[in-house]
Amino acid sequence: MRHVIGIDVGGTKIKGAVVDGDGRLLYKTERDTHPELGADAVIDRIAVLARDTAIGAGLTLRDIAGLGIGMPAFLDADTGYVETAVNLGWQNVDLLAELEQRLGALPIRIDNDANIAALGEARAGGGRGARDALCVTLGTGVGGGVVIDGQLVRGASGMGGEIGHITLDPQGRFCNCGRRGCLETISSATGIVAAAEARLAAGDLSSLRQEPALSTRALFDHAAKGDRVASEVIGYAIDRLGFALANVGATLNPAVIVIGGGVSQAGEALLVPLQQAFERYALPRVSRGTALRLAELGNDAGVVGAALLFGEGN
Ligand code: ZN
């Protein structure tokens, strides 16, 4: 059987897994990233984790067909050169060359973390079986990835699928990208909580005032119990997400849109109104041809997707 290692590098943990040719996860492990030790030390840790992951699965690196890596970075997927990785404090690191020095002949491919998570969900998670899928992650930000004919769409400068930065309100809240009113400022967990806090600061009556700290989970709970502020804040975030997806749908006409990330743990309470919003704004032929599904791989999407960089066409 053909085995591939997928590694997902985050600011806190580096996760590794052995995955088979169908994207099935056979073994996984992790270690701390320690970005404060510098790029060389983190690259050493990635290389050690690759070996440990193989050994943990009862294999050696010789049994491994390839190593796919997801990085929280702006990078060139063709050359494996990292331009910046803000969370790691990296600038201009030739990651592919550094890893090849440490790991010898093992074929290595590198992409950014949003792309690998999308590839994992599209090929082995909620989008399984579909040729074309749009994947959206609703977390601290809004991540995205587009998979067409089973392949990631990276675009000319690696920014393909960045749907979190579709502008919905040019006068809206500032976004981390330096512009205003991106989808991310409205429909991410951060955006939803900020909108609720603004309503409370404005003096609106709400049962949310009983909460010591607001979270999207609390908002969904209070909305389910009939709190109007919670319902309106969530309703607006979902409506705008449906609007953005309908517009992307007019361009891509994907078979499946997979919704993941922390906010997606609301399940049907998110998916049902999102389907309605999508249908409200999409071309009817697009909405009829597109299924909205919840992500299935959770925190494993990254390692599975990284391994699938060695799948067909990627
Ligand atoms: Zn933005």
Residue 12 in domain: yes
Same domain, 43 and 141: no
Residue 143 φ then ψ, to 5°: -95, 160
Q: Is 143 helix (H, G, I), strand (E, B) or coil?
A: strand
Asked if residue 124 belongs to a domain, the reply is no
Number of folded domains that form the chain? 2
Residue 297 alpha carbon to ligand 1 centre in Å: 26
Distance 30 CA to ligand 1 centre (A): 31
**Which residues contact residue 21 at a Cβ distance below 8 angstroms, ignoring those fewer than 6 apart?**
1, 2, 4, 311
Which structural domain, as residue segments, surrounds residue 105?
Answer: 3-118+300-310
Asked whether residue 288 falls in the same domain as residue 142, the answer is yes
Domain identity same for 138 and 162? yes
* Residue 26 · residue 18 · CB < 8 Å: yes
Cα dihedral 243, 187, 294, 165 sign: positive
Residues having C-beta closer than 5 Å to ion ligand 1? 165, 175, 177, 182
Strand partners, 259: 136, 294
**What pLDDT tens digit does each residue of the chain (314 aa) get?**
589 999 999 999 999 999 998 788 999 999 999 999 999 999 999 999 999 999 999 999 899 999 999 999 989 999 999 999 988 999 999 999 999 999 988 999 999 999 999 999 999 999 999 999 999 999 989 999 999 998 999 998 888 999 999 999 999 999 988 999 999 999 999 999 999 999 999 999 999 999 999 999 999 999 999 999 999 999 999 999 999 999 999 999 999 999 999 999 999 999 999 999 999 999 999 999 999 999 999 999 999 999 999 986 66
Q: How far apart are CA 272 and CA 5, in angstroms?
A: 36
The Å distance, Cα 63 to ligand 1 centre, comes to 42
The reported pLDDT for the residue numbered 313 is 67
The alpha carbon of 141 and the centre of ligand 1 are apart by a number of angstroms equal to 9
- Are residue 107 and residue 251 in the same domain, yes or no? no
b/e 189-205 (16+ beta carbons within 10 angstroms → b): bbbbbbbbeebeeeeee
Which pLDDT belongs to residue 314? 67
d(CA 106, CA 265): 37
Q: Which residue has the tokens 């003096």?
A: 203
Distance in Å, CA 272 to ligand 1 centroid: 26
Asked if residue 98 and residue 195 are part of one domain, the reply reads: no
Same domain for 156 and 233, yes or no, is yes
Residues 81 and 133 in one domain: no
- pTM of the complete model: 0.91
Question: Same domain for 99 and 135?
Answer: no
Does one domain contain both 199 and 266? yes
Give the Cα-Cα-Cα angle 262, 263, 264 (nearest 5 degrees): 90
178, 61: one domain: no
Question: Regarding beta strands 74-76 and 64-71, do their DSSP bridges make them parallel or antiparallel, or are they unpaired?
Answer: unpaired
Coil vs helix vs strand at 226: coil
233 and 192 co-located in one domain: yes
CATH at residue 101: 3.30.420.40
If asked whether residues 181 and 287 sit together in one domain, one would say yes
Q: Are 95 and 80 in contact (CB under 8 A)?
A: yes
